[in-house]
Amino acid sequence: MDGILPLWKEKGYTSHDCVSKARGMLKTRKIGHTGTLDPDVEGVLPLCVGKATKIVPFLTDTEKVYEAVITLGSSTETEDATGEVVEQKPVLDEIPVSKIQSVLKSFTGEITQVPPMYSAVKVKGKRLYQYAREGIEVDRPDRKVTIKTIELLEKQFPVKSERLSIPIRVVCSKGTYIRTLCVDIGRELGFPAHMSTLVRLQTGAIRQNDCFTFDQVQYYVDLKRQEDLLLPLSKGLEHMPSLQISEQEKQAILHGQVLPKPKEVTASEFSIICNHEVIAMYQVHPTKPDKIKPIRVF
């Protein structure tokens, strides 16, 4: 089996749990996921099966679409609803929608984030969440991420409430911590905040309506129609440029040859397609700009 299983991850599973469960259901060991989702988060989690595991880095490096709820009035140690409350400040006055929209707009474009202590980022060879569980605070390297858009999903809010929930939709680059984004937005609004819910609606070109739950996967497995679950490799690479080649040129590509750079190639990395099938990933040669060389050959 070779292709992308567009899984709808349900709450309660880690991304590793999903890989393990899919391996058992599909009876194959060669499966990899394309970006972690926390256990309390549901949403699109593409699993690469067979040859598709070779495109994991390219599918991981894609835009993501999320819907989240920012809860003003309290912050937590984990920046989401699972952690202990560390600060509270009731929202006693109405916050104008115009102010919320203005603050959201200020977070679009390239921003700097400091990863939360409860995250898998490594510092000195150790995961941040391991330090956090030991009660050790360490300096965390900041990172640049890009917020393409933030949309406010609700335009009316209660006049007074100890906690105020603000639903948003975010289109962002890989590596964005939505938890941290929610906390930072709350801070700009003058309140401690945390992310109370999160759903991932899209990874690259793979959307919610492409996805299967584990119950649906089992249904196809029982019918011995596992192949019908899989998307082609090309679906996971739609965000990248591609080069169409003829059948006559195919063998040189499959042998991973370094070739003259075609005039139509303008990107540094691109997929190569023959007869509607992705057969390789190539790049412009790093030291010979008039040549192209393979990254992955399928």
pLDDT digits over 43-65, tens only? Answer: 999 999 999 999 998 888 899 99
Question: Which CATH number characterizes residue 47's domain?
Answer: 3.30.2350.10
Task: Domain count for the chain, please give it.
Answer: 3
Question: Cβ distance 73 to 85 under 8 Å?
Answer: no
Q: Give catalytic residues, as residue numbers.
A: 38
Q: 99 and 135 in one domain?
A: yes
Residue burial 206-233, b: 16+ Cβ < 10 Å; e: rest: beeebbbebeebeebeeeeebeebbbeb
pLDDT recorded at residue 125: 79
| Residue entry with tokens 């299983």 | 5
Q: What is the Cα–Cα distance from 295 to 53, expressed in whole angstroms? A: 13
pTM attached to this predicted model: 0.89
Q: Supply φ then ψ for residue 31, to 5 degrees.
A: -140, 135
pLDDT recorded at residue 118: 78
Q: 114 and 130 in one domain?
A: yes
pLDDT recorded at residue 194: 97
pLDDT in tens, 103-120: 999 999 999 998 887 777
Q: 220 and 284 in one domain?
A: no
pLDDT recorded at residue 133: 83
Question: Cβ distance 101 to 183 under 8 Å?
Answer: no
With a cut of 50, which residues of the chain have pLDDT below it? none
Domain that holds residue 247: 240-297
Q: 117 and 105 in one domain?
A: yes
pLDDT recorded at residue 135: 82
